[in-house]
Amino acid sequence: MKTSFHKACILLVLNLFLNTNDLYCIEKIFSEHYKVQEGDDLEKIIRKKIWFKNISQEEKKKIISDMKRWNPQVTNWKKLELGSKLYLEFPRKWSREFPLITIPMKKLAIKSTDLNKNYLSQDKEKNKEQTEKNQRLPSSESIKKYSDTKIVYQKNPYNFDLSLGSKLFYFEEPVTNSGSKITQTNIVYDLDFKFDYPISEKFKFFFNLGGSYYLNDECKNSDEIEGYCNPVVTYKFPLSYSLKAGLKKALFSSTLKQGFSGLFTIEREGLSYISSNKAVLSTTVLERDGATLLKPNKSLFLWFTLGLDYNFSIWNKLSQLSASGSYCLSGESVLNTTGEGVNGGYWERLEPCFKINGEYKQYLGKNFWFSSYIKYISAKGMFTFTGIQNGLNLGYTF
């Protein structure tokens, strides 16, 4: 008797310090008195509260059966009375409000003690009393014995998007006070990684990391200006990246998968392109070799973005239209060259600058998707730089 008492005390102390009921295998329960809304039926209510598609058919049938048993006041389940209340209860690991990462737990070698027996005995008495009153306690079936079956908690509904794509990057920039311009189109390859973490059905956090590789470009003779890049010069562009984090919230809808949603993003973005060494061309015109003035350039922007998404479906596949506008909190441009004179580098601050973006994303299956987008960028330095990007990405959601 003394040994059993000591074991019970040890279990209680462990429970207090570890702050978990898993030592007794007590399953955490979600319960609520739900008020019936217009258009509700039993399955729709359950889907609002539970990650329904991730549980087995047997569990689905049991949930529906239990709901009916716990609410004997309902006489017609096909037509629920508007404003009436239903008692809902299910394991918290299934709840949309408490997403948990899937963690297979090891079997704990805990023998049955007098304390366990007392809990089970008390629980049976409560069950008997509540059954007679057609009521239900949230913890009435929570005490279970360990078995050889692993306890697996509900998978957290986060996902990863991995996409590979390319874009045509067309840009133009004045290179002299006389109005001479660089106009160029380059092909860029993108690799993007995106992480989505839903905080609830209506609100999520996301993080995106992308890298861009630019094809080498050649500066050739110009038909308009004799001796322009003569001989031919090949430019190698520095790699660029995009790093963004943001929040997304459903608007006028109970889920992010339908209707409108608002978007807030902070983004650090790099762009590479040919630019002119403005430190030496304030009075120069391109009447001689342009290679003495043009160099690979990299600009970095810090964008503040607000956007709006519209989510719908085509052939039961998720679709999304997006539009956003970005204002540049800071921007800088660095000419990728060293030396003095006409070959010297140049640094300048870019402001004001803004970006407009439109995108269409379409799932082709459960996980495979493509997206097409167009972006317009304008940045003001010594001269105004403008660029248009047309891109297509193919991606997979994990």
In a domain? residue 269? yes
Same domain, 58 and 127: yes
Number of separate helices (H) and strands (E) present in the chain: 4, 17
Which tokens is 152 given?
């697996």
The span from the first CA to the last CA of the chain, in angstroms, equals: 54
Same domain, 202 and 85: no
DSSP 325: E
At residue 200, the 3 state secondary structure works out as strand
The whole-angstrom separation of Cα 67 and Cα 86 is 8
**What does the pLDDT look like over 219-242, one tens digit per residue?**
776 655 555 677 788 888 889 999
Number of domains making up the chain? 2
Higher pLDDT, 389 or 49: 389
Final residue of a structural domain among 135, 152, 169:
152
Encode 268-304: b = buried (16+ Cβ within 10 Å), e = exposed: ebbbbbbbbbbebbeebebeebbbbbbbbbbbbbbbe
Q: Which residue has the tokens 């050649």?
A: 218
Task: Give Cα 110 distance to the centre of its chain.
Answer: 41
What is the mean predicted confidence (pLDDT) over 62-82?
A: 85
With a CB cutoff of 8 Å and minimum separation 6, the contacts of 20 are none
Pick from 25-34, 205-214, 300-309: least confident: 25-34
The whole-angstrom separation of Cα 80 and Cα 74 is 8
Alpha-helix runs per DSSP H in the chain = 2-18, 42-49, 57-70, 114-132
Same domain, 287 and 260: yes
With a CB cutoff of 8 Å and minimum separation 6, the contacts of 124 are none
**What does the pLDDT look like over 185-210, one tens digit per residue?**
889 999 999 998 888 778 889 999 99
In a domain? residue 2? no
CATH number at residue 244: 2.40.128.100
Same domain, 138 and 163: no
Same domain, 140 and 36: yes
Cβ burial of 191 (10 Å; 0-12, 13-18, 19+) is middle
Which tokens is 339 given?
């030396």
In a domain? residue 10? no
In a domain? residue 17? no
Residue 222 phi, psi (nearest 5): -100, 140
In a domain? residue 143? yes
Same domain, 299 and 174: yes
In a domain? residue 12? no
Same domain, 138 and 27: yes
Same domain, 73 and 208: no
Residue 40 phi, psi (nearest 5): -75, 140
**What does the pLDDT look like over 259-299, one tens digit per residue?**
999 999 999 999 998 887 777 665 555 555 666 777 888 99
- Determine the pLDDT at residue 99: 46
Identify the domain containing residue 298 by its residue range.
Answer: 159-397
Final residue of a structural domain among 107, 127, 152:
152
Judge whether 263 and 324 are in contact, CB under 8 Å: yes
Identify residue 310 by its one-letter amino acid code.
Y
Same domain, 316 and 368: yes
With a CB cutoff of 8 Å and minimum separation 6, the contacts of 306 are 262, 263, 264, 265, 324, 325
